[in-house]
Amino acid sequence: MPKEEKSIGQSPLLSDADSVYAKIMNDIADGVFVSGDRLVTTQLAKRYDTSINPIREALKQLQGEGFVSISPNSGASVSKFEFETMRNVFEILQLLDPYLLQYFVETYTSEQMAETQSIQDKLENMSDDELMEFRYWDTEFHWSIYKHHYNKQAIDLWKRNRLILHAMHVNLPINLIRIKQSIVEHRALLNAISNRDSDEALGVLRAHISGSGSFWSRHYRF
């Protein structure tokens, strides 16, 4: 059952924070439950102060989305993500991120840009001790850009794959060099966005995703 709590808050990708589904998903994405962990319905019901039926319904939904595996003999457990899954996730995000970004570059308002800027300021002002929170604020950064897109199906697909990424990487060690490099890349992306330069913004974003993918591919362990 649960590891030591690591959460710094509800994932920005889970809007219905009070639902049982969101609570379980947040715990998976946050590393409270990791790949292979059993998910016992009675223990989950106690943890989330609810009855068994909502837990079962949430687990079935998570099974359909690929986050949970359910078998007649061993019950429910967090899915065991493999290298192929990580590769597929990165390839999907490499397609979706530029698509969602371009719309923002062309349509953002001053208020929307100010929100993204404030998140970047938070990242740039983090101390080394606070950088363990980077994955949360990195997701906030990208979400502040993509959530304004009109294509809600594309946004939902992006959110699902981003959550899978969280679940796969949550127990990997923090690498300060890669984190600080990513923050610099965010700044370059913001500069291109502020100039309404789609070509430059897309180039920076593709390099950012590629760099992250190469790094985690080298460090991922089964």
Buried residues in 110-133 as b, exposed as e (16+ CB within 10 A): eeebebbeebbeebeebeeeebeb
Mind listing the pLDDT tens digit for each residue in 36-63? 899 999 999 999 999 999 999 999 999 9
pLDDT given at position 90: 83
For the chain, give every domain's residue range: 20-78, 83-219
Overall average pLDDT of the 152-166 stretch: 88
pLDDT top residue among 15 and 106: 106
Class of domain 83-219 (CATH, top level): mainly alpha
Buried residues in 156-167 as b, exposed as e (16+ CB within 10 A): eebbbbbbbbbb
- Model-wide pTM > 0.85: no
Evaluated on CA atoms 32, 164, 13, 189, the torsion sign reads positive
State whether CATH 1.10.10.10 applies to domain 20-78.
yes
d(CA 17, CA 21): 9
Name the least confident of 5-14, 48-57, 121-130: 5-14
Mind listing the pLDDT tens digit for each residue in 65-95? 888 999 888 889 998 877 777 778 888 988 9
d(CA 107, CA 195): 12
Please provide the average confidence, as pLDDT, over all residues in the chain: 85
pLDDT given at position 55: 94
